[in-house]
């Protein structure tokens, strides 16, 4: 647990940006095994930057577009445009820049708290997280027929613990309906700052979402058969939550066509409270001339 606590604290530090000017922030990049900068990192750091320019209001939605692949060896600068401060709502635009070129653009909206009518979807009935293996344990089970480089990635101790309800083999998946459920949480006690819980959920929301669009086609990102990248990402925060408590990420993919996959997700507490929703479209292209 101490090791996981250190990993979680390291992630918090990684997502906490250096303030260069009132509206300019800088974050470091990190290599998690993906070809380019992990999209969730840029999303989370952009939300952090926007949040540092708002007082007394909470983020309730964000919409981002990934413009260029990020370089894992270079820092990322975040420029915040204070577009509007209204009576109830505040709007910010954030541009993430590497080497003078924008790699990501995001609009985020913040609002004051208020009471109103309520309803929500019901949480799916799934096994509890204690009954499931996490991604690291599943990776160890599959080591017999997995290349060494991939096995190191699968055994990586993630700062966000993931426990799939319907795990798939990373190299030999079976075709499956475009639905999946994953329990997730930060494995360590977090501070009470609600901004950081939303930042961490933004970071985690990019895990596995686009992969839902691959399930009917018996494809995974680790096979080397496809090129994939997030194109856009949207989130809506509905209710309070903590990222150091289990959340169920229930995902589906209504459509994949024209080299793009579309996926959606809802996040529930263990008690069934719907706390956030996500939507994403990503590029999905088959790699040609794959050896049998």
The pLDDT tens digits for 72-116 are: 999 999 999 999 999 999 999 999 999 999 999 999 999 999 999
Range of the domain at 49: 2-112+132-286
pLDDT number for residue 7: 84
| Position 124 in a domain | no
Flag whether 121 is in a domain.
Answer: no
Written as six digits, the tokens of 155 are 């055994």
With respect to residue 82, please indicate whether it lies within any of the assigned structural domains. Answer: yes
Query: What is the model's pLDDT at position 36?
Result: 85
Active site residue 280: yes
- Quote the percentage of the chain above a pLDDT of 90: 76
Would the pLDDT of 214 be above 80?
Answer: yes
Would residue 252 show up in a list of annotated catalytic residues for this protein? no
Q: Which residue has the higher pLDDT, 147 or 188?
A: 188
Q: Which class for 70: exposed (0-12), middle (13-18), buried (19 or more C-beta within 10 A)?
A: buried
Q: What average pLDDT does range 273-282 have in this prediction? A: 98
Rounded Cα–Cα distance for residues 203 and 155 (Å): 20
- Match 């840029």 to its residue by tokens: 42
Indicate whether 122 belongs to any domain: no
Residues making up the chain, counted from first to last = 292
In a domain, 118, yes or no: no
At residue 137, the pLDDT reads 78
Question: Which one is catalytic: 107, 109, 263, 280?
Answer: 280
Q: Which residue has the higher pLDDT, 173 or 231?
A: 231
The answer to the question of residue 140 being in a domain is yes
Tell me the CATH number at 29: 2.40.160.210
Q: Can you tell me whether residue 272 is helix, strand or coil?
A: coil
**Taking the alpha carbons of 243, 249, 255, 256 in that order, is the dihedral positive or negative?**
positive
DSSP result, 96-110:
EEETTEEEEEEEEEE
- Is 223 designated active site? no
pLDDT at 217 over 80: yes
At residue 290, does pLDDT exceed 50? no
Q: Which residue has the higher pLDDT, 288 or 63?
A: 63
- Give the confidence band of 183 by pLDDT, cuts at 50, 70, 90: very high
Q: Say if residue 289's pLDDT is above 90.
A: no
The reported pLDDT for the residue numbered 157 is: 65
pTM: predicted TM-score of the whole model, two decimal places: 0.92
For 46, the token pair is: 């952009």
Residue 123 lies in a domain: no
Q: Is residue 127 domain-resident?
A: no
Overall number of domains in the chain: 1
End-to-end CA distance of the chain: 42
Catalytic residue among 206, 250, 253, 263: 206
Q: How confident is the prediction for the chain on average, in pLDDT?
A: 91
* Average pLDDT of the residues in 183-199: 94
At 151 the pLDDT is 55
Per-residue pLDDT tens over the stretch 239-269:
999 999 999 999 999 999 999 999 999 999 9
Q: Determine which of 24-38, 139-153, 180-194 has the lowest per-residue pLDDT on average.
A: 139-153
Closest of 142, 100, 121, 73 to residue 239, by C-alpha:
121
Q: How far is CA 180 from CA 49, 151, 203, 213, 214, in A?
A: 31, 23, 19, 10, 11
User: 29, 109, 230, 277: which one is catalytic?
Assistant: 230
């Amino acid at each position: 647990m101490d090791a996981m606590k250190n990993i979680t604290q390291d992630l918090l530090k990684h997502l906490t940006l250096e303030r260069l000017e009132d509206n300019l922030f800088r974050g470091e990049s990190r290599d998690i095994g993906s070809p380019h900068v992990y999209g969730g990192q840029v999303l989370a750091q952009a939300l952090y930057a926007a949040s540092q320019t708002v007082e007394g209001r909470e983020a309730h939605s964000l919409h981002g577009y990934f413009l260029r692949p990020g370089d894992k060896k270079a820092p990322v600068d975040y420029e915040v445009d204070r577009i509007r401060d209204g009576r109830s709502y505040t709007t910010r635009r954030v541009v993430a820049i590497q080497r003078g070129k924008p790699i990501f653009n995001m609009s985020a909206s913040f609002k004051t708290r208020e009471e109103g009518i309520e309803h929500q979807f019901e949480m799916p009935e799934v096994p509890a997280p204690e009954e499931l293996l996490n991604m690291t344990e599943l990776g160890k089970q599959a080591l017999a027929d997995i290349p060494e480089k991939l096995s190191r990635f699968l055994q990586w101790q993630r700062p966000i613990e993931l426990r799939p309800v319907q795990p798939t083999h990373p190299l030999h998946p079976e075709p499956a309906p475009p639905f999946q459920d994953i329990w997730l949480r930060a494995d360590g006690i977090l501070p009470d700052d609600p901004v950081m819980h939303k930042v961490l959920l933004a970071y985690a929301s990019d895990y596995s979402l686009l992969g839902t669009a691959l399930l009917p086609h018996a494809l995974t990102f680790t096979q080397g058969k496809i090129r994939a990248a997030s194109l856009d990402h949207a989130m809506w925060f509905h209710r309070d939550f903590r990222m150091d408590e289990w959340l169920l990420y229930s995902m589906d993919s209504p459509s994949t066509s024209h080299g793009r996959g579309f996926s959606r997700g809802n996040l529930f507490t263990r008690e069934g409270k719907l706390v956030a929703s996500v939507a994403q479209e990503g590029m999905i292209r088959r790699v040609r001339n794959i050896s049998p």
